[in-house]
A and B are shown apart, each in its own frame.
Chain A
Amino acid sequence: MLVEVAVGTLILGVAGFSLWMLRRRKYMLRGHVLRYRAVEKYVEEEE
């Protein structure tokens, strides 16, 4: 039983960390896309 609890806790930690990293990366990529669109719009307006 102890082994199962330990494996479960470790996998919970590692999967949670991976999910957190993934969320952060998605947030960053979304920011990049939004900034790129804003710049593109600004350039079009200037032209």
Chain B
Amino acid sequence: MVKLNSPLVMVLVIAILCLVIFYFESYGRVSKDDFGVKGGKVTAEPWRFMTFMFTHDGWGHLLMNLSALALVGVLAMGLGLSGLSFAAVFLIVGPLTVMPAILLSSPYTFVGASAGISGLFGAISVRMKRYGFSAVPFFILFAIALTATPAVEALYSQSAAAATQASMHFLALVLGAGIAVSYRYRRPRRW
């Protein structure tokens, strides 16, 4: 029997939300401008910090994020992460990652679950310590996998969007690892 507090259940919930929004997007009912995070709009509509993570810009973007989400779910399951922690990292890292770009008045509209997923990979790299691994090599590997391609694209085509994508993936990875470290080394409760 599948436990409700399992990462795979959370993966399923997130995937269904992404697919539902994408369905409405593909029929033109909503667009990324309705749900995405954009400077100037978020102050009036703060719920965008939650909806942008489930909105995607095309099939390629959606499929890449869903496959990465499934992979991180399987890894989290193997490491014994609870579904609640999985969802918490995903929901906290996403909005925190876009915050600096919004504060710096970035002209882009941010959509996609990749920020939350990168945060989960960061948390997973710290969680590997549970099985006696060092977190650093896994963190470096995840960082290369998530940032190398957009960074190369940014260098070759001088694309600011690709540079933003690479830096946001890295920031999310650091934030996810930071949350996991602070949880791992938290001060014990004194009752």
Contact = CB atoms under 8 A, between A and B. Distances in A.
Interface of A: 1, 3-8, 10-19, 21-23, 25-26, 29
A10 B124 contact: no
B71 A12 contact: yes
Given A11-B146, A14-B141, A25-B132, A5 B78 contact: no
Contacts of A1: 60
Which 6 A-B pairs have CB atoms at the shortest separation, nearest pair first? A10-B145, A15-B71, A6-B149, A14-B145, A4-B64, A4-B60
Given A12-B67, A21-B133, 8 more contacts: A5-B60, A5-B64, A6-B149, A10-B145, A11-B121, A15-B68, A15-B72, A23-B78
Contact of A14 (B128, B133, B144): B144
A22 B128 contact: yes
Interface string B137-170: 0100110111011100100000000100000000
Given A1-B60, A26-B131, A10 B78 contact: no
A15 B145 CA distance: 9
Interface of B: 60-61, 63-64, 67-68, 71-72, 74-75, 78-79, 121, 124, 128, 131-133, 138, 141-142, 144-146, 148-150, 153, 162
30 contacts: A1-B60, A3-B153, A3-B162, A4-B63, A6-B149, A7-B64, A7-B68, A7-B150, A8-B64, A8-B68, A10-B146, A10-B148, A10-B149, A11-B68, A11-B142, A11-B145, A12-B67, A12-B71, A14-B141, A14-B142, A15-B121, A16-B71, A18-B128, A18-B141, A19-B74, A19-B75, A22-B78, A22-B128, A25-B132, A26-B131
Contacts, number: 71
Nearest to A26: B131
Which of A6, A18, A29 has the most CB atoms of chain B within a 10 A radius of its CB?
A18
Contacts of B150: 3, 7
Contacts of A15: 68, 71-72, 74-75, 121, 145
Contacts of B138: 18
A3 B145 CA distance: 11
